[in-house]
Amino acid sequence: MSPLIGAHVTSATRVVPRGRKPQELLPTGAPLTLVDADGRTVPSAGLAMPGDEALLALHRKMVLARRFDTQATALTRQGRLAVYPSARGQEAGEVGAVLALRPQDWLFPTYRDTMAVVCRGLDPVEVLSLLRGDWHCGYDPYEYRVAPQCTPLATNTLHAVGVAHAAKLKGEDTVALVMLGDGATSEGDTHAALNFAAVWQAPVVFFVQNNGYAISVPLSKQTAAPSLAHKGVGYGVPAMLVDGNDAAAVYAAVRGAVASGAEGGGPTLIEALTYRIEAHTNADDATRYRDQAEVDGWLARDPLARLRKHLTARGLLDEPAVAALEAEAEAEAAALRQRVNADIAHDPADLFRHVYAEQTPDLRWQQQELSAELAAAADDPEAAR
């Protein structure tokens, strides 16, 4: 390793600049918005409207992400996926946050962030390995710097802080963005991660998608804080509250937080206000804990329709372009269907691989035991029953 560890910082434990006033850390009262629900531009202090190209990229990726999401839900009904936690309605957060990252940055997604992982460029079939039940993580985390999708809530916040702190010690220009939901902010690891990141001034973006529910539990039973973004001030972490259905605002906020982290400004907490249109997963029944009227209200604030209106009004998008994009999304979905419908041959010997760097004698023996049993069953199928 060429750069000397630690030579790039004067102290691993440098504390937050004490000069920062609480007001500088607090979020705005109303969520930061660049494009309102009707697609109109909102002049907003502190956030710069992304350029046309960035807006078109956001729109394109949101179309692809939504089609991917509905396709994945459909695959659960056909038994091709064991389970799928949909993020429909959250496309602005899923896509906006990912497009704001640079190639050298890390993404730490949860199980609900499959759209985000695919948006980062990973092969969707490799990504769906977890939810198909083929293997826990089907992709190489180092290829696109995407950690395995994390199921135990908030635990990955600390991994993001560790990766970012190591990058800082090694003198790498790398920021880590960790995704979490409103429920995960109640976990102890979120508290520890915000605190460690602040004390170390680690370049981390805590991207909280507040979609209103932790499975069935509404935000009102999750916290008494004025907003989740308000939690930042207690740690000395600057926070932003953004309209999570406004892709332009999410993108601009995350870009700003990434730039701040890269410039030595430490961590940022972003709360994106959004809504989970579908139930928790295909196995959940959302009618037991929320009204359709509430869902309908959020459908009227759809993030994709909003950006499309905005781009159309500005003459950046027309019907033929949208039709072409939708055809592209349809083709991707068809390809995905076809690939996921193909059965994968599983090798039971895989069970015993990669538990340790080298297989232990116990595992060698257990693998032999299983393969002998399977061989006997193959030789004499009747006796095996």
Catalytic residues: 276, 280, 289
Q: Closest approach of Cβ 361 to other proteins, in Å?
A: 7
Question: 3-class SS at 110?
Answer: strand
Q: Closest approach of Cβ 345 to other proteins, in Å?
A: 16
Is 338 or 360 the residue whose CB approaches other proteins more closely?
A: 360
Backbone angles phi, psi at 315, to 5 degrees: 75, 15
Q: Closest approach of Cβ 173 to other proteins, in Å?
A: 13
d(CA 138, CA 145): 14
Is 5 or 327 the residue whose CB approaches other proteins more closely?
A: 5
Place of tokens 């395995």: 148
Q: Is there a contact between 376 and 384 (Cβ–Cβ < 8 Å)?
A: yes
Give the CB-side neighbour count of residue 332, counting CA atoms within 13 A: 23
Full DSSP string of 125-140 = HHHTHHHHTS-S--S-
Backbone angles phi, psi at 124, to 5 degrees: -60, -30
Backbone angles phi, psi at 25, to 5 degrees: -95, -20
Q: Closest approach of Cβ 72 to other proteins, in Å?
A: 20
Q: Closest approach of Cβ 76 to other proteins, in Å?
A: 22
d(CA 299, CA 49): 24
Is 202 or 233 the residue whose CB approaches other proteins more closely?
A: 202
Is 155 or 245 the residue whose CB approaches other proteins more closely?
A: 155
Give the CB-side neighbour count of residue 65, counting CA atoms within 13 A: 33
- Kind plus residue range of the DSSP H or E element containing 162: helix 155-170
Q: Closest approach of Cβ 181 to other proteins, in Å?
A: 18
Nearest residue to 50 via CA among 118, 111, 97, 94:
97
Q: Which residues bind other proteins (CB under 8 A)?
A: 1, 4-6, 9, 11-13, 135-137, 140-142, 147-148, 152, 155, 157-167, 169-170, 174, 176, 188-189, 191-193, 195-196, 199, 350, 353-357, 360-362
Question: 3-class SS at 333?
Answer: helix
Is 5 or 225 the residue whose CB approaches other proteins more closely?
A: 5
Angle between helices 188-200 and 155-170 (to 10 degrees): 20
Is 121 or 152 the residue whose CB approaches other proteins more closely?
A: 152
